[in-house]
Amino acid sequence: MVSWEYPPLVYGGLARHVHALSTALARFGHDVVVLTQHDDSGVGTSAAALTDERCDGVRVVRVRQDPPHLPIDDLLAWTMGLDHALTRGALTALGDWRPDVVHAHDWLVAHTAANLQAAYGCPLVATVHATEAGRWQGWLPAPLNRAIHTVEWWLTWSADRVVVCSDAMAAEVATLFAVPEQQVEVIANGVDADTWSVPPHLAESAADQWRDGGPLLVYSGRLEYEKGVLTVLAALRRIRRRHPGTRLVVAGRGGQEEALRARVKELRLGRAVRFTGWLDDDELTSLVAGADVALVPSSYEPFGLVALEAAAAGTVVVAADVGGLAEVVDHETTGLLVDPEDPTAWVEAVCRVLADADLRAGLEKEARLTVERDFRWAEVADRTLAAYRRAGLSTTSRRPRPSFEIAEGNQLFGARGG
């Protein structure tokens, strides 16, 4: 497994996905190595540049970026530095150990994965967790976006199998990269329902820390534009008129945090919104379990792991009717789906859940049952193993690549705006 993030370095759902999949494969008796980076920059420290340890049954090889002083805001240079270090780390640490398959998670590790595929002569499987064009609603507005898109294209065409988490993502990959349908595996993410089963007293205690005398709403995830938190802020004042004291807790970090804080101030919602920053696992699960409603307002969402996690915690989910979320949330059965760009629709959906205890109880029950039945990590691991086997069968017949060009400012698919 090659991944740029892995616990304790967690930026988003990718790290949790790779950890859960790796440990599930290890429980099946497979020898799993995760190749990733250290959880610090390495600047000003004498700690080893490479560590090799076993954690949760998985061998984890961590490296420091090469060279260590490149900032992440110089993203392409940062990524190249990381990929050089990852490649050297694998070839140094693994010695005579040889993988049967290399599994790359997203474009940031594409060069490492391709190098190891060549070095070991084994199949390459690539999971596309999201695409650059998707994040920009079908546009590639700047040279950096177009550069990332070309690396994604190259990775999907270097891979013997491409794994995606939803039918929506399968269609997106087919549209953007012309990957043949028979090369794509749709394998939904999983969730550990037991991890999200919080004792009632802990959930209530967590909620009491944040309540303002009324209902508690929670958003958990990265603070980026496509995550849609601005739409929820636009709806919050009207929700509070109908349910006084409603408070929104925003748990996470990201590049849009300052902009979101500024918008809260503009809307005079300072008392109604709280930013928690990064929460550890116990704090986050307790907060989500204690909330009255979990909001997933993304304008772009390949899957929507946070929706599954909230369902596993027994909290009603109101989510955007987009991408993989529309496959994870069964409208009116396991949650409510809403137009991602319509604040009025968010007002009506949230207020409906808050006002109807029977609806809330029914949605919570069905969502939890669905998670336990359909989204187990053991099933995800089993389907991934099948994809590995099929990848091995396809290595003798490399398919030709199509011609590939990007015009500046090119709109690649169905964008709603510029």
Residue 72 to residue 301: CA distance in whole angstroms? 23
pLDDT in tens, 108-133: 999 999 999 999 999 999 999 999 99
Residue 273 to residue 268: CA distance in whole angstroms? 10
- Is the bond preceding 67 in cis, omega lying within 30 degrees of 0? yes
pTM, 2 dp: 0.87
Q: Would you state the pLDDT for residue 10?
A: 87
Residue 275 to residue 4: CA distance in whole angstroms? 26
Q: Would you state the pLDDT for residue 281?
A: 87
Mean predicted lDDT score pLDDT of the chain: 90
Contact call for residues 10 and 16 (beta carbons, < 8 A): yes
Average pLDDT of the residues in 263-267: 96
Residue 331 to residue 321: CA distance in whole angstroms? 9
What is the three-state SS of 183-229? HEEECCCCCCCCCCCCCHHHHHHHHHHHCCCCCEEEEECCCCHHHCH
pLDDT in tens, 40-72: 644 444 457 899 999 999 999 999 987 766 676
Collapsed DSSP state (helix, strand, coil) of residue 288: helix
CATH topology for the 200-374 domain = Rossmann fold (3.40.50)
Does residue 81 carry a pLDDT above 70?
A: yes
DSSP character at residue 315: -
Which residues share a beta bridge with 411?
139
Per-domain boundaries in the chain: 13-190+383-393, 200-374
Place of tokens 């060279």: 67
Does residue 202 carry a pLDDT above 70?
A: yes
Q: Would you state the pLDDT for residue 272?
A: 96
pLDDT in tens, 344-403: 999 999 999 999 999 999 999 999 999 999 999 999 999 999 999 999 865 444 555 566
Does residue 169 carry a pLDDT above 70?
A: yes
The rounded Cα 18 to chain-centroid distance in angstroms is 10
Average pLDDT of the residues in 18-42: 91
Buried b / exposed e over 44-67, threshold 16 CB at 10 Å, is: eeeeebeeeeeeebbbbbbbbbbe
Q: Would you state the pLDDT for residue 152?
A: 96
Candidate from 69-83, 145-159, 199-213, 231-245 with smallest mean pLDDT: 69-83
Which residues share a beta bridge with 392?
none
pLDDT in tens, 144-158: 999 999 999 999 999
Residue 18 to residue 118: CA distance in whole angstroms? 23
Q: Same topology for domains 13-190+383-393 and 200-374, yes or no?
A: yes
DSSP H or E run through 286: helix 281-290
Q: Would you state the pLDDT for residue 234?
A: 96
Q: Would you state the pLDDT for residue 407?
A: 57
Q: Would you state the pLDDT for residue 244?
A: 96
* Alpha-carbon distance values, 274 to 181, 198, 226, 249, 283 (Å): 44, 22, 20, 5, 15
Write out the CATH class of domain 13-190+383-393: alpha beta
268 confidence band (pLDDT: 50, 70, 90): very high
**Quick one: what percent of the chain has pLDDT higher than 90?**
78
Q: Would you state the pLDDT for residue 138?
A: 83
pLDDT in tens, 291-344: 999 999 999 999 989 999 999 999 999 999 999 999 999 999 999 999 999 999
Does residue 287 carry a pLDDT above 50?
A: yes
